[in-house]
């Protein structure tokens, strides 16, 4: 989780990731930031985030992203 928070803070440090649960629906992250975010998550965790995971609810909060990363690791 710490590594994920590091990535998130690097892309947008002005967000409280413990509380924020509307990162995508609230347009805190736009489509460019999402790509940057996904690229860095893939590199850091050595996973593939395929299009099937590209749903707003998977990226709306740090917690949801972490759950998705674990699900992908399990799936792979």
Partner 1 sequence: MSITSFTFVAFVFAALILYYLVPKRFQWIILLLASLVFYARYSEKCLLFVLVTAVTVWGAARVMQGLSDGRKAYLKAHKAEMSKEEKSAYKKKIRKQRKMVMLAALLLNLGILCVVKYFHFALAQINALISLTGGEGIADTYRLLVPLGISFYTFQAVGYLVDVYWENCKAEKNFFRMLLFVSFFPQVTQGPISDYEQLSGELFAEHSLSYDNYARGFQRMLWGFMKKMVLANLVAPYVQDVFANYSTYTGISAFIGALFYSVQIYADFSGYMDIMCGLCEMFGIHLTENFERPYFSKSIAEYWRRWHISLGAWFKRYIYFPIAMSNWSRQLAWKSRERFGQGISDVLPATIALVVVWLCTGLWHGASWGYVAWGLVNGLFIILSLWLEHIYAAWKKALRINESAWLWRAFQTVRTFILVTFIKVLPEVGTLSDGFGLWRQIFTEHTLPKTVDELLPALAANGTANFVVIMIMIVLLFVTSLMQRKMPIRDYFARVPLPGRLIIMACGFAVIIIFGVPAMASGGGFLYAQF
Task: Please give the residue ranges that form the binding site for partner 1 (CB under 8 A).
Answer: 31-32, 34-36, 38-39, 42-43, 49-52, 54-55, 76
Q: How far is CA 69 from CA 14, 23, 45, in A?
A: 23, 17, 8
Cβ-based burial of 37 (10 A; exposed 0-12, middle 13-18, buried ≥19): buried
Closest approach of Cβ 3 to partner 1, in Å?
A: 17
Minimum distance from residue 44 beta carbon to partner 1 (Å):
13
Tell me whether residue 13 or residue 51 sits nearer to partner 1 (CB atom).
Answer: 51
């Amino acid at each position: 989780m710490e590594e994920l928070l590091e990535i998130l803070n690097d892309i947008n440090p002005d967000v409280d990731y413990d509380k924020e649960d509307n990162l995508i629906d609230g347009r805190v992250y736009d489509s460019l930031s999402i790509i940057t975010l996904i690229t860095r998550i893939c590199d850091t965790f050595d996973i593939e985030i395929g299009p099937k995971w590209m749903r707003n609810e998977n990226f709306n909060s740090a917690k949801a992203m972490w759950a998705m990363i674990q699900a992908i690791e399990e799936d792979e």
